[in-house]
């Protein structure tokens, strides 16, 4: 392992990118590790509340983040997720992609990820019928039978998109009722090619090479729905599990103070992975700036040994 960096930034959405811009301008020795640049920003349709842009699409803003960060000569390790971040002596060790990286400080800016069902077949058939984005992949299921799993607004939204494309849509909700908006629910339930299944749990996703069935259980009885697509829309969760010992609220969101400090020395967090209210792109960006300034101050004042 090489000499420790000043800082490692994990995640490159608005929080991570803004932290990187501040760290670069402060001439810190740091690196950024992330699967991609943009994070959840890439998912947004139209953005009308990011200062300076009256209207910009999510993909366009993400591309602008990318262009901005590349003005600086920063080691940007893309395509990599950090599996474990832990403290060893006075350093933060980030493991992932078969590598260990050491830094005196770390900023966790990993945002939120779609919640998974955790049933057999979900991983195996990912992109082989299992999808987490109806807007993206819905049109690939034209004329076939599909299922949407979930009962909130994102599930209802996916179902309403899919009833116009698919032959038939099964809407699977674990609870006895749907939790999404009444107007959307009314539209969904009124669609002639939609069957709502409440009090129904998914137990497995099956198929050969691609998905061909969804196994569900209702009141102890199992049956298989002959679907080719399964859209999982059960919300998202803070991507904080990989951080050893960090204090979170009851929902996995990292608790930070007004300087983005966590409960652990030299560890900062910013953006949607934290319990800071208002999950907004501009809030995440601002928090990223604060986190970088705090990491800089920590390096300047904390003892080396």
Partner 1 sequence: MNPPVRIFSTPTCPFCQRAKLFLKDRGVGFEEINVAADREKVAELMKVSGQRGVPVIVVGNDVVVGFDQAKLEALFPRAVDRPEPK
Residue 277 as a binder of partner 1 (CB under 8 A): the answer is: no
Q: In the window 229-268, what residues touch partner 1 (CB under 8 A)?
A: 229
For residue 192, count CB atoms less than 10 angstroms from its CB and return exposed for 0-12, middle for 13-18, buried for 19 or more: exposed
Helix (H, G, I), strand (E, B) or coil at 141: helix
> Within 10 Å of residue 3's Cβ, how many Cβ atoms?
6
Interaxial angle between packed helices 281-301 and 14-25, expressed in degrees from 0 to 180 and rounded to the nearest 10: 40
Residue 111 as a binder of partner 1 (CB under 8 A): the answer is: no
Structure tokens at 213: 């069935």
Residue 175 as a binder of partner 1 (CB under 8 A): the answer is: no
d(CA 35, CA 78): 5
Nearest to 88 by CA among 74, 72, 102: 102
The nearer residue to partner 1, 132 or 178, going by C-beta atoms, is: 132
Residue with tokens 């991570």: 16
The nearer residue to partner 1, 144 or 282, going by C-beta atoms, is: 144
Total of residues contacting partner 1 (CB under 8 A)? 40
CB of 290 to partner 1, least distance (A): 21
Residue 128 as a binder of partner 1 (CB under 8 A): the answer is: yes
Binding mask 201-230 for partner 1 (x = CB under 8 A): --------xx------------------x-
d(CA 156, CA 280): 22
Residue 46 as a binder of partner 1 (CB under 8 A): the answer is: no
The residues binding partner 1 (CB under 8 A) are 35-38, 42-45, 57-60, 62-63, 66-67, 70-73, 78-80, 127-129, 131, 133, 135-143, 209-210, 229
């Amino acid at each position: 392992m090489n000499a420790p960096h000043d800082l490692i930034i994990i995640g490159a959405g608005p929080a991570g990118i803004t932290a990187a811009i501040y760290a670069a301008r402060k001439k810190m020795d740091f690196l950024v590790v992330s699967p991609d640049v943009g994070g959840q920003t890439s998912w947004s349709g139209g953005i009308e509340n990011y200062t300076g842009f009256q209207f910009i699409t999510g993909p366009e803003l993400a591309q602008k983040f990318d262009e901005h960060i590349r003005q600086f000569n920063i080691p940007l390790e893309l395509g990599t997720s950090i599996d474990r971040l832990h403290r060893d002596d006075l350093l933060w060790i980030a493991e992932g992609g078969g590598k260990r990286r050491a830094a005196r400080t770390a900023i966790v800016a990993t945002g939120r990820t779609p919640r998974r069902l955790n049933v057999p077949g979900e991983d195996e058939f990912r992109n082989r019928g299992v999808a987490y984005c109806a807007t993206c992949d819905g049109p690939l299921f034209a004329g076939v039978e599909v299922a949407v799993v979930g009962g909130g607004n994102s599930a209802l939204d996916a179902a309403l998109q899919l009833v116009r494309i698919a032959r038939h849509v099964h809407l699977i909700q674990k609870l006895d009722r749907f939790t999404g908006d009444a107007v959307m629910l009314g539209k969904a339930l009124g669609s002639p090619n939609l069957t709502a299944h409440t009090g129904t749990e998914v137990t497995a996703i099956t198929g050969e090479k691609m998905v061909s069935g969804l196994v569900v259980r209702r009141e102890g009885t199992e049956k298989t729905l002959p679907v080719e697509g399964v859209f999982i829309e059960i919300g998202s969760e803070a991507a904080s599990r990989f951080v050893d010992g960090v204090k979170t609220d009851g929902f996995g969101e990292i608790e930070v103070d007004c300087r983005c400090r966590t409960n652990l020395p030299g560890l900062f967090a910013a953006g949607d992975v934290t319990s800071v209210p208002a999950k907004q792109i501009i809030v995440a960006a601002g928090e990223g700036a604060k986190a970088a300034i705090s990491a800089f101050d920590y390096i300047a004042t904390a003892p080396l040994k």
